[in-house]
A and B are shown apart, each in its own frame.
Chain A
Amino acid sequence: MTAEARLGSVANYVDERTGAAAWMKKNLQKVFPDHWSFLLGEVALYSFIILLLSGTFLTFWFDPSQREVIYDGSYEPLEGLKMSAAYASTLHISFEVRGGLLMRQIHHWAALIFMSAIVAHMMRVFFTGAFRKPREGNWIIGIGLLTLGIVEGFLGYSLPDDLLSGTGIRIAEAIIQALPVVGSYLAYFAFGGAFPGEAFIPRIYTVHVLLLPGAFLALITVHLMLVWYQKHTQFPGPGRTEKNVVGYPLMPVYMAKAGGFFFIVFGVTAFLAAVASINPIWLFGPYTPGQITAGSQPDWYMGWLDGLVRMAPPIETHAFGHTISWNILIPGLIIPGILFTGMALYPFIESWITGDKREHHLLDRPRNAPNRTALGAMSLTFVMVTLLNGGNDIIATHFDLSINQIMWGTRFGVLILPPLAFVITKRLCLSLQRADRELVLHGRETGTLLRLPHGEFVEVHEPISPEKAYLLTSHEQAPPLELPAVDGRGVKRAGALRNKLRSRMSVANAEAIPKVSATELKEIEHH
């Protein structure tokens, strides 16, 4: 039998039992638009696969137990020390298991890359408006994945039970304990009694290796099925409309690209893990509540939360024999709660402001949605300032600065810089729109100087290509919503305050430099 015949018989076998050929025929030619930023989500997906594989390897030796053991492994500085079995087995993986340290480092690096890729992917989706109808549901799933990722990462680096991660668990316990009314009960339930107890690490192990990965698999599956079914968004350009999708077919182009890209992601992760030490737990020692390492730092996706907690003002309410720790509740629960709820609801908020209920498959260039872009820049600035404060001790020691000044700087910075970022970004977007308009009207500067007969120098402008002119003029510029306070009969409409708010936001959202119109374009052609 030839190779082709063998393949044919396999295909026949499968098709007779599933009828897959009809579906495959169509989907192998499925078109995907091409842009580098569409690969960011793929990085997250591939890191997830690396996490599953490397994590499985680690479970073969990791002992998720807080039972006390005396260390007698090959790392001499800890010889004879009392520690938990979890910590001892992590040392064992690092020093005695073949490839164990490499796998641990691959797992940790992949987690950092996973979270970075999720955030980068989310920024791409946000700034291009890809979350608009019909993709609001997938945006919410994405926010769910981001949230689970933060929790999963925290639980993961808490498992080794070293002095650093134990301190992180202590802080998590304090957050639970700070909840009004039920806090100390929930903390005792979570830890099986007083902190640290012996129940927490076995419990979070189950959550880390079973519950959350299961939730990830389910959500990622739905996330990808929706991308497949709803078809990918595309950037605007000649020939690209809301009704079509322009790009390259799955087979062979995307199969090759995606397959190759997995190995690039894996290669980079493995390289990092091989050359860059990460979380050297043997340097920290086993956890004990009476000790601590200076420069305690969480991983970056928790760092901004830690920075928020650090900068919180020292406010507690003491009344009627009860204590409410605002210094924990506000930075630890209330602000993150508002941020994540706002993020999840943003597609609906934006469509409420614009009144736009249509499907969108063409992406926005960020400059053409100045309000949204500015809002994104504002949020990122907020997180950057808090992240900076999350490392204030390290920054202070490395750059010989005062920790108090950094703290005060970020305390004010977190209030002042985000609104400033909003204003600057919005101005920048409008300036870029103005530049686009100039480009369409007057063409590209060629750098060629011309001296006119009467002595004046002018720079020669060259008209831009029709494709480029199309790109710069094809976007929509919707006027703000008209929401009169009174209806046609002069009666005041219900919800006046809400309408006023909506109308104000709509005006701010619709602010734009008028793009070059069709008639203007015609005129240029006549010149």
Chain B
Amino acid sequence: MPDTEVVAQRHEFRSPDSDRKDFVVAVKEGAAAAGLGRRSLIKRSLGAALGLSALSPLILLRDLGPLPGKELEKTTWKTGTHLVTDPGNRRIKASDLEVGAVAQVLPEVEDPEHRQLSDIAKDAVLLIRLRPQEFNLEADRLAMTHDGIIAFSKICSHMGCAVALYEQQTKHLLCPCHQSTFDVTRAAKVIFGPSARPLPQLDITIDNEGYLVARNPFSEPVGPSFWERNSQ
């Protein structure tokens, strides 16, 4: 390989003035020959057509998906829906859960084999059992618990990850995505991290046979915020 440097010259990029002038003349002549300057109807309709075609994605992309409607605010939970284990889809009794235990539950559905992921993305609930005296809740929130069992939406109120890390000692729930930390004893109040809202609490009780059921649906939308959400 040769090991001697070579020198080449650079040239200014700017065209010589004469070329620039010729260019302007050529453009003007071309435009004049096409008569564009005088044909305002052509120009305007061309502009209008281009403008309209820019709007076409509004129609063409409309079928990408359905309108959200009120769907983001609804879950499968209804009054009297049984809580079932996930996995397993078995109904559970309060006695199945020891103090300090955590369980993920889903609403009972007729065909659990074909449960949609999009339903789980809103329905997943975390059950935690504490000693009733460990709660530090308002009366209405305490009434939503059953025998020390409290139920929260497992979908993070920040960005929708599963809030899956429960620390037994501190009774904190931690979201592994962005470390939002919720205090279970105080109705999942946010005590750390970026989430701005507590996890929605599910009102639970037991049916005649002693199985855990939802007494009411969620009173607020679960998961991350969105424009239409009324958070007041």
Residue with the greatest number of chain A CB neighbours at <10 A, chosen from B122, B176, B195, B196: B196
Q: Which of B13-64 contact A (CB under 8 A)?
A: 13, 61, 64
Tell me whether B232 is interfacial, beta carbon within 8 Å: yes
Query: For chain B residues 146-170, which have a beta carbon within 8 Å of chain A?
Result: 154-155, 158-162, 164-165
Residue of B nearest to A191 (CB): B65
- Say which one of A103-111, A118-126, A213-221, A237-245 lies at the interface with B: A237-245
A174 and B227 contacting across the interface, CB-CB below 8 Å:
no
* Interchain CA distance A328-B230 in the complex, whole Å: 17
A contact residues around B121 at 8 Å (CB)? 170, 194-196, 289-290
B1 at the interface (CB under 8 A from A): yes
Shortest CB-to-CB span from B168 to chain A, Å, is: 15
Tally A residues with Cβ within 8 Å of B.
82
A279 interfacial by beta-carbon distance below 8 Å:
no
The docked-state distance in angstroms from the alpha carbon of A112 to that of B7 is: 37
A314 contacts the other chain (CB 8 A): yes
Q: In the complex the two chains form, is A184's CB within 8 Å of B165's CB?
A: no
Docked-complex contact B64 and A243, CB < 8 angstroms: no
B231 partner, pick from A167, A309, A323, beta carbons under 8 A: A323
Q: Which of B104, B118, B180, B225 lies in contact with A193, CB distance below 8 A?
A: B118
A174 CB contacts on chain B under 8 angstroms: 158-160, 223-224
Q: Is B83's CB within 8 Å of the partner chain A? A: no
A398 at the interface (CB under 8 A from B): no
CA gap between A373 and B10 in the complex, in Å? 27
A interface footprint on B171-203 (CB within 8 Å = 1, 0 otherwise): 000001111100000000010111111000000
Cβ of A3 under 8 Å from chain B: no
**Does B204 count as interface, using CB distance less than 8 angstroms?**
no
Tell me how far the C-beta of B71 lies from the nearest C-beta in chain A, rounded to whole angstroms.
6
Q: Which residue of A lies closest to B175 (CB)?
A: A292
Whole-angstrom CA separation of A174 from B225 in the bound complex = 8
Chain B's interface size range is 35 or more
Task: Assess whether A21 is interfacial by the CB under 8 Å rule.
Answer: no
Contact A189 B194 (CB under 8 A): no
Q: Within residues 178 to 199 of chain A, which ones have a CB less than 8 A from any CB in chain B? A: 178-185, 187-197, 199
Write out the residue numbers on chain B whose beta carbons fall within 8 Å of the beta carbon of A331. 194
A31 within 8 A of B: yes
A188→B177 contact, CB < 8 A: no
Known contacts A177-B224, A197-B118; A243/B9 CB under 8 A: yes
Over the window 110-129 of chain B, the binary record of Cβ atoms lying under 8 Å from chain A Cβ atoms (1 yes, 0 no) is 00000001101110100000
Given A189-B61, A290-B86, does the pair A323, B9 have CB atoms closer than 8 Å?
A: no
User: A246: CB under 8 A from chain B?
Assistant: yes
Closest chain A residue to B163, Cβ basis: A292
**Is A253 in contact with chain B by the CB < 8 A criterion?**
yes
Bound Cα distance from A288 to B116, whole angstroms: 10
Contact of B227 among A239, A249, A290, A323 (CB under 8 A): A323
Q: Which residues of chain B come closer than 8 Å to A199, judged between CB atoms?
A: 64-65
Of B68, B122, B232, most buried by chain A (CB within 10 Å of CB) is B68
Provide the bound-state CA to CA distance between A431 and B71, in Å.
62
Contact present for A196 and B194 (CB under 8 Å)? no
In the complex, the answer to whether A328 meets B232 with C-beta atoms within 8 Å is no
Interface string of A152-194 (1 = CB under 8 A from B): 0000000000000001001101110111111111011111111
A5 within 8 A of B: no
Residues of A within 8 A of B67 (CB): 185, 188
A93 to chain B, nearest CB (A): 23
Q: Report whether B8 and A188 are in contact in the complex, using a CB–CB cutoff of 8 Å.
A: no
What residues on A are CB-neighbors of B179 within 8 Å? Answer: 310, 392-393, 403, 407
Report if A310-B193 is in contact (Cβ < 8 Å); known contacts: A231-B10, A359-B12. Answer: yes
* Nearest-Cβ distance from residue B77 to partner chain A, whole angstroms: 14
Kindly provide the distance from the CB of B197 to the nearest chain A CB, expressed in whole angstroms: 7
Is B209 at the interface (CB under 8 A from chain A)?
Answer: no
A196 and B117: CB pair below 8 A? yes
Residues from chain B with a CB closer than 8 A to the CB of A338 are none
Q: How close is A244's CB to chain B, nearest CB, in angstroms? A: 5
B65 touches A192 (CB 8 A): yes
Question: What A residues does B13 contact at CB under 8 A?
Answer: 134, 230, 359
Question: Which residue of the partner chain, among A171, A311, A392, contacts B159 with CB atoms under 8 Å?
Answer: A171
B225: A residues at CB distance < 8 A: 177-178, 316, 323-325, 328
Q: A252 an interface residue at 8 Å Cβ cutoff?
A: yes
Taking a contact as CB atoms closer than 8 A, the residue among A190, A248, A290, A325 that contacts B104 in the complex is A290
Q: Are B118 and A296 in contact (CB under 8 A)?
A: no
Closest to A322 in B: B227
**List of B residues within 8 angstroms of A230 by Cβ:** 13
A319, CB-defined interface residue at 8 Å: yes
Q: Kindly list chain B residues whose C-beta atoms are within 8 Å of the C-beta of A321.
A: 228, 230, 232
Task: List, in ascending order, chain A residues with CB within 8 A of B155's CB.
Answer: 289
In the complex, which residues of chain A have a beta carbon less than 8 angstroms from the beta carbon of B88? Answer: none
Structural contact, A289 and B158, CB atoms closer than 8 A: no
Find out whether the CB atom of B162 lies under 8 angstroms from the CB atom of A289.
Answer: yes
A310 and B178 CA atoms in complex are apart in Å by 5
* Nearest CB on A from B14, distance (A): 9
CA distance A134 to B86 in the complex (A): 62
Q: B194 touching A310 by the CB < 8 A rule?
A: yes
Jot down 30 A-B pairs with beta carbons below 8 A, ordered by A: A31-B8, A134-B13, A174-B159, A177-B226, A183-B226, A184-B72, A185-B68, A188-B65, A191-B65, A192-B64, A194-B72, A195-B118, A195-B121, A196-B117, A197-B118, A243-B9, A249-B2, A252-B1, A290-B124, A292-B177, A293-B176, A306-B178, A314-B190, A316-B231, A322-B229, A323-B225, A323-B231, A327-B195, A327-B196, A328-B224
Seen from chain A, the residues whose Cβ lies within 8 Å of a Cβ on chain B are 29-31, 34, 134, 167, 170-171, 173-175, 177-185, 187-197, 199, 230-231, 239, 242-249, 252-253, 256, 287-296, 306, 309-316, 318-319, 321-325, 327-328, 331, 359, 361, 392-393, 403-404, 407
Q: Which 5 A-B pairs have the closest CB atoms?
A: A289-B121, A174-B159, A290-B124, A316-B196, A194-B118
